[in-house]
Structure 1
Amino acid sequence: MTATVVQHSTAIRLIQQLAIQNQDQLTGQLDISAPSGERWSLYFCVGRLIWATNHSHPVRSLRRQLNAYCPTFNFESLAVRESDRFVCWNYQVVWVLLKRNVLDKDTAIAIIEQTITDVLFDLFQQERREPLQFETVHHEALSILRMQIVAVNLKQAVKRAKLAFDEWRGAGFAQVSPNLIPVIRNLEGLQENVPAKAFEQLRKKVNGQRTLRELSVLTKIDITRLTKSLAPYIRKRWIDLVPGSEIPKPGLEPPQTPRGARPDPAHKRLIACVDDSPQLCEQLGKIIKSAGYEFISITDSVQALPILLEKRPQLIFLEQHH
């Protein structure tokens, strides 16, 4: 694995850097960082884009895309085992859902293309604020090829993102990130100046939990038009825009029980005994282990608390003093 670092400060340089990876037929990733701490990665296979991610909110972004393109899927039920088969978790999820037939090929491609568009949009916006640094990381080709769902044309991806950002900037939102969350600050002001039905809808949907992009998906309204409709309330400070935090990954898939084997109901259930009598601990241990539980004995009362805090047994037998 090799890495090359280059620093540029304009959108032209950003596009040039993408073109270089295309011409050099990069198989790996282009890591991009800004002085503010923001980080992105673009993934290539033989010079063509296959995925992109914003490291500040990859889980939130994936949930938004699944809500948009597969609205019947319950994101909270998502269970994908952690794997090192691909370096990016959210791409791995799309790949697994495709293999499980939760997503069809066209839907998976739409999610990939929109994710790349959103990341490039964010990069075009970020480079207007501060210089970006690029690091090229090469990966073993076979591992990338095995996971590739689609190779996206770089010029078309850049064109889509640039058109979206130009429309956004043309509406006066060049300094407004679509990843910000609108929060109602003056409920009374809104209620007095917005028709009752519209007010109820606004209060329900602008709940302080959804980004502008997520609201666009929820309402099925183009994000520029949606933000324009909120702009008068934002200018009056009835609604504020605040940074959105990342959401936790949904539960990971539990380890599978080998075929033909029964799950052990006592697996990882630990019972502890704290007593200064080794004989008593030994006898109790035989009984507990024969029932299929794990057992630890602690005969030194000074060490008892640290050990119990570390092991966290489900049940503790304590010596009784009279």
Structure 2
Amino acid sequence: MSENFGSPGQIQPLSVGNVVSAAVRLYRSHLKSYFFLALIGYLWSLLPFLFFIPAVITLSWNLRFNNNSFLVWLIVVLIGLIVYFYALGKFLVNAAIISRLAFGELVNQPETVNAARSQVKPRLWMFVLTVLLLLVISFVLLLFFVISLSLLQTLQWIKPLNLILPLLNIVAFFIVLAAIFWFAARVFIADVLIGIEAHLDPITTVSRSWELSKGNALRIILILLVSLLIPMPLQLVIQLIIRGIIQALIPPVFLQQATADIMNGSTNAISFIVMVYLLILVSAFLVNAVILPFWQAIKAVIYYDLRTRREGLGLQLRDREI
């Protein structure tokens, strides 16, 4: 696929189909490296579970012998939060490396995985802080919507409005849903910015994503909706295969018996259930590791497109199989 961009004033946005097609080509051409980066990221995501599950089980069994149980639980939770955010940062680093590599291919400046990792790895906590900032913003917006909807319900005492209140609720629901999609589109490339551009902090990252996506939120939403449909068949097939393997290895009757044994205080049953759920979790991570590179490639193409048109980089998609 080839797109020839002229001067900044004549630059046209990539179509939804072109963005998805470019992402598919990138993933297909770098399947092995992208998949292993995604897999490493999801393996890091297992770390909090590997910490909390043994910790909770151990503390639960020793609770009756520990007079300072509240202090111990508090320490465990604090350590667990550090472990969680560190694992989150490692996941985001590996995801951003995929986008950085994809962007390098688009601008004909390819990097090796090690070179990209050396640039992105030091920004681990920047990813975490940016996620926390976005969570705070999302919480404030959600609180605003909840208060607004609650105030809407207070109008039911007005009889004329009471008749159309159900309709108003439906309209309000779709407005909130549209606002959520719009906000997600405006900050969709935040992690890509951290992975590619230097000297960014959480606030400038969010503001730069906001600036680059200005006037393009609807198009990004359309890209996301189309992109959701692309991996669905593959994801469904993989899930069915993994579910079949798990059911073959662990028949449902074993789970029912283990659940009954847990009620009788069997430690072996608890260990068995934990192993089953860890197996299911790992299987889910494998499925997501197949899909993640596609989404990171989508982000890279969107970022490339927005920068090209807004900042007149004069770039073009490479006229070959990426």
TM-score, normalised relative to structure 1: 0.21
TM-score, normalised relative to structure 2: 0.21
More strand by share: 1
User: Greater Rg, structure 1 or structure 2?
Assistant: 1
